[in-house]
Structure 1
């Protein structure tokens, strides 16, 4: 029998609650989250558990940070980049985020961080595409225009990784403020 299973992630920025529920469902089947693995999760086979998972974002998390969650009944499961942390607790434990202001603060922090990462790639994508347009108007040589088009495409592809999460956090914030 397999003792390890890898499952893909739909994207924490987009489907945070759904991802945590999916991990809880697997835990009930005896597949317990061990760590992040590439674009998903590594689960190990154990006895089934009735637990919930919760996600938090904290840069440079220290012992005090983890002790705070431990005192609230949440055990640290895994982290990625000492910034994204998943905790588990028995089903029915008080959620990590229970009020709107702290939830808004959580998503504001992440939106700001993703925005800082996305902005240079957004600007470079626009600049490279404009330079490519200028080459079609023969303001710059065509060979340089093709080079700018290639750089613009590369920049756009890279922009997707911080840009889409940024938009997702923006949408979550809009929904929270609308409620």
Structure 2
């Protein structure tokens, strides 16, 4: 396949912008770019095809691996064909424009976000554990007075502090979306309409401010650690 037969778009994030993301896939399909996958670098990958009038959907799979075939069969029966998956958790589907939404009611859509965000938050705790271990190790090195350069300790300590505060950033992001888009689940069968209500740039600007506050807290912790070295 030639160089110009592939197209890459930076993903907005299927965890927080699934509606807007699927609308982007739909628009690309209409232009003749067929969605292939979301790669590990966070890019949506397309291949050159023919213009199609298709709709897309993404769902978070919270079941066991042995339940996957039944899960996919359920969507296939409903008219939704699997396109690809991301880490066996996010499954992308496509269907004809007149196919009913993959979510049958508001409650199922709410439950989808609940399970998905819980999973992402629990995953973030791994970073916190790693950061905590790093900071404990640094304290041990200091107490033992091992001949480790302060510059190296500071460099490692930065990542340790980042890991410890990472779940706070994830939680703050989830809380923002939950409060800012309180009526989201009402659009369970009209994701395209909800997508038009979202503003990625505005949201990221607000989150940038929140991140700055969290960063300031990390900076204070970093400064305190620096003063002890």
TM-score, length-scaled by structure 2: 0.62
Residues 110 and 169 in structure 1, CA contact (< 8 A), matched pair in contact too: no
- Aligned twin of 2:7: 5
Residues 129 and 163 in structure 2, CA contact (< 8 A), matched pair in contact too: no
Residues 118 and 159 in structure 1, CA contact (< 8 A), matched pair in contact too: no
The partner residue of 1:42 within 36, 41, 45 is: 45
- Aligned twin of 2:156: 151
Q: How far apart, in 1, do the equivalents of 2:161 and 2:92 lie?
A: 30
Q: Counting strand residues as a fraction of each chain, which structure ranks higher?
A: 1
The partner residue of 2:57 within 54, 59, 73 is: 54
Residues 58 and 93 in structure 2, CA contact (< 8 A), matched pair in contact too: yes
State whether structure 2 residue 90 is matched by structure 1 residue 81. Answer: no
Residues 152 and 116 of structure 1: CA distance in aligned 2, closer, same or farther (over 3 Å): farther
The partner residue of 1:117 within 120, 123, 134 is: 123
Residues 150 and 112 of structure 1: CA distance in aligned 2, closer, same or farther (over 3 Å): same
State whether structure 2 residue 84 is matched by structure 1 residue 72. Answer: no
Q: State the Cα distance separating 1:84 from its structure 2 match.
A: 0.9
Give the number of equivalent residue pairs. Answer: 176
1:122-163 residue CA offsets vs partner (Å, 9 max, x unmatched):
36647867998x9xxx9997x687666433422455578876
1:89-131 residue CA offsets vs partner (Å, 9 max, x unmatched):
1123211124221112111111211121122433664786799
Q: Where in structure 1 are there 5+ consecutive unaligned residues?
A: none
When the two chains are superposed, the root-mean-square deviation of aligned CA atoms in Å is: 3.5
SS in 2 for 1:13: coil
TM-score, length-scaled by structure 1: 0.76
